[in-house]
Structure 1
Amino acid sequence: MSQRVVVTGAAGKLGRAVITDLATHGWDVLAVDRVSVTGWSGDSLRADLTDYGQVLEIVSGAVDERGPRPEALVHLAAVPAPGLIPNSATFANNAPATWNVFNACRAAGVRKVVWASSETVLGLPFDTPPPYAPVDEEYHPRPESTYSLVKTLEEEMATQFCRWDPELSMTGLRFSNVMYPEDYAAFPAFDADPQLRKWNLWGYIDARDGAQAVRRSLEYRTPGREVFVIANADTVMSRSSASLMAEVFPDVEIRKELGEHETLLSIDKARRVLGYEPRHSWRDEVSPD
């Protein structure tokens, strides 16, 4: 029997890939968003996650004809980036929505939660250089925007929720900039100026690989809170990663020998713990020449 999973933010760029991937791999998906999830033929529900009552109904399996209670929840819903709306509005949406989701899952006995954290907690846009490269999960978050501050607070909330309830397994995924194959036509132009994409160390995540990371995180049931950087294995550039760092961040320590186009957003932990392995690259879609 397939397992029931709620996916919030299902109409978003990453959400669409996630619900498709999970359904393909046998999950029973309830797609939740404020807007209709176009192109999706499975179960869906429109809801406002800033309303705790609605969230509790969803995770309890109490919405008419939208049960049963899920085994797990994937929380992707949010104002997705800094500067889209005023800072106060970003905070007023994202922080309460995530608390509602976390608390409702604990109250309803949903023990597995995967949520979208963000690469921004690593210190993006790196106007202040990173402490070392490739950046990883080992240094304390350095939020530089209200959006990123909320993501940092979410990670701390998850730590405390898991302390309160040792049976919870909460996995935060620090996603890089989400891309679809149709976005890759713009990538060769980045080579003209390495400053254009230095803000996230020239990283990206193919939505299909982001979905793989979500699925593998759902399969990871170890209790407690964990966070992982999730990016593709390469950068958006045709130039070598070593040459990019030497030109743009010459004083930053490089902690490993870099592959030619190796990501500077380290995915070593995700590979080791989750078995995550990116399967897509913009180089497969567009010639860098």
Structure 2
Amino acid sequence: MRIAVTGSNGLLGRATVDLLRADGHEVVGFDVSRPAGPGFVKVDLADYGQTLDALLGVTARHSGLDALVHLAAIPVNGLVPDATTFHNNMTVSFNVMFGALRAGIRTIVYASSITAMGFPFEEAPPALPVDESYTAANNTYGLGKVLEEAMAAQLVRWHHDTSITALRYTNVVPADGYESFARAGDPTYRRDLIGSYVDARDGASAVAVSLRHRAPGFEVYNVAAPDSGLSIPTAELAKQWFPGVPLTPGGEFESLMSTAKLQSLGWRAEHLWRDEYRG
């Protein structure tokens, strides 16, 4: 397939581009920063005209796309004022998704977030592990993600063969970024992430699996490592963090962010902190 990846110069974007190319796909990266070169187009995705034109075709880059992977965003609150985070991310996601449909692209996989399901979890979720049935936004970044999911669920109705997949990523860890797991024995570590994490390479493989299993309609999948990022047993963490919340029994260190749905597609995380951390 010929696939465009927005945010191709980001942590998850780079890993995704590398994996898709290794799988034999032709990949065009769209981003606002990176030296120009083969396989890359500098695009201001906040500008609908630029976005639509880039999706339709770019001389010497592509003449049409089979699928779109949308990863571009202001990645967290705090980098710019809160309203700017919301306005930028919502505008970009609308431009990209709507533009893709106008360009005849019917397969879209995009990055949603743990922030669409309760992060930073100051309010306890209804049950543990937290699955895709729970939606709650507690900051402007998360609010944007919740609204993006609502928008995507409506857009797929406009063309019967459209497939949009939202991947609710937790904190994405680079291959060389496991130093912080030295704090794995601290019960306050990753508390706002309910102990979860995912390696960027496994985050990329979630995109690849989603593209392979595309089906008409809208689906949401959690993306996290299957194990907790702490060395404290999961049952103990759940009792301390969320007293009284029902916990479905699992492995001793099972993640409190359920990935059973994505695993049902054959996805498996291959990079776990217990193997990667060299402390």
Q: TM-score, normalised by structure 2?
A: 0.96
Per-residue CA deviation, residues 33-57 of structure 1 (Å, 9 max, x unaligned), is 100069xx75001110011111111
Whole-angstrom distance in 2 between the partners of 1:95 and 1:37:
26
Whole-angstrom distance in 2 between the partners of 1:116 and 1:135:
18
Whole-angstrom distance in 2 between the partners of 1:177 and 1:57:
32
**Residue 236 (structure 2) pairs with residue 243 (structure 1):** yes
Q: Quick one: which of 40, 44, 48 aligns to 1:48?
A: 44
Whole-angstrom distance in 2 between the partners of 1:190 and 1:277:
22
Q: Secondary structure at the match of 1:120?
A: helix
Q: How does 1:168-207 map to 2 (within 5 A)?
A: 168-192=162-186, 194-207=187-200
Alpha carbons 1:143, 1:152 under 8 Å: kept: yes
Q: How does 1:21-60 map to 2 (within 5 A)?
A: 21-36=19-34, 42-60=38-56
Whole-angstrom distance in 1 between the partners of 2:97 and 2:69:
11
Deviates more, 1:26-35 or 1:180-189: 180-189
Q: Which one-letter code corresponds to 2:272 in the other structure? A: S
Structure 1 residue 287: Cα displacement: 5.3
Match of 2:161 in 1: 167
Q: Secondary structure at the match of 1:181?
A: coil
Alpha carbons 2:224, 2:259 under 8 Å: kept: yes
Whole-angstrom distance in 2 between the partners of 1:89 and 1:126:
23
Q: Which one-letter code corresponds to 1:36 in the other structure? A: R
Alpha carbons 1:209, 1:278 under 8 Å: kept: yes
Q: Which one-letter code corresponds to 2:258 in the other structure? A: S
Structure 1 residue 94: Cα displacement: 0.5
Structure 1 residue 169: Cα displacement: 0.2
Alpha carbons 2:38, 2:61 under 8 Å: kept: no
Match of 1:126 in 2: 121
Match of 1:221 in 2: 214
Match of 1:271 in 2: 263
Whole-angstrom distance in 2 between the partners of 1:280 and 1:190:
16
Q: Quick one: which of 86, 89, 94 aligns to 1:94?
A: 89
What 5-or-longer segments of structure 1 have no aligned partner?
none
Alpha carbons 1:31, 1:37 under 8 Å: kept: no
Whole-angstrom distance in 2 between the partners of 1:37 and 1:181:
23
Whole-angstrom distance in 1 between the partners of 2:110 and 2:79:
21
Q: Secondary structure at the match of 1:195?
A: coil
Whole-angstrom distance in 2 between the partners of 1:37 and 1:73:
21
Structure 1 residue 190: Cα displacement: 3.3
Alpha carbons 2:3, 2:28 under 8 Å: kept: yes
Match of 1:113 in 2: 108
What 5-or-longer segments of structure 2 have no aligned partner?
none
Whole-angstrom distance in 1 between the partners of 2:65 and 2:213:
16
Match of 1:286 in 2: 277
> How many aligned positions are there?
279
Whole-angstrom distance in 1 between the partners of 2:241 and 2:96:
40
Alpha carbons 2:112, 2:167 under 8 Å: kept: yes
Whole-angstrom distance in 1 between the partners of 2:277 and 2:59:
47
Q: Which one-letter code corresponds to 2:200 in the other structure? A: A
Per-residue CA deviation, residues 231-262 of structure 1 (Å, 9 max, x unaligned), is 011111111111111222221111x2120111
4+ runs deviating over 2 angstroms: none
Whole-angstrom distance in 2 between the partners of 1:131 and 1:188:
30
Alpha carbons 2:198, 2:224 under 8 Å: kept: yes
Alpha carbons 2:12, 2:204 under 8 Å: kept: yes
Sequence identity (%) = 42
Cα distance 1:9–1:37, how it changes in 2: closer, same or farther (>3 A)?
farther
Structure 1 residue 276: Cα displacement: 1.1
Q: TM-score, normalised by structure 1?
A: 0.93
Q: Which one-letter code corresponds to 1:126 in the other structure? A: F
Q: Which one-letter code corresponds to 1:147 in the other structure? A: Y
Alpha carbons 1:29, 1:42 under 8 Å: kept: no
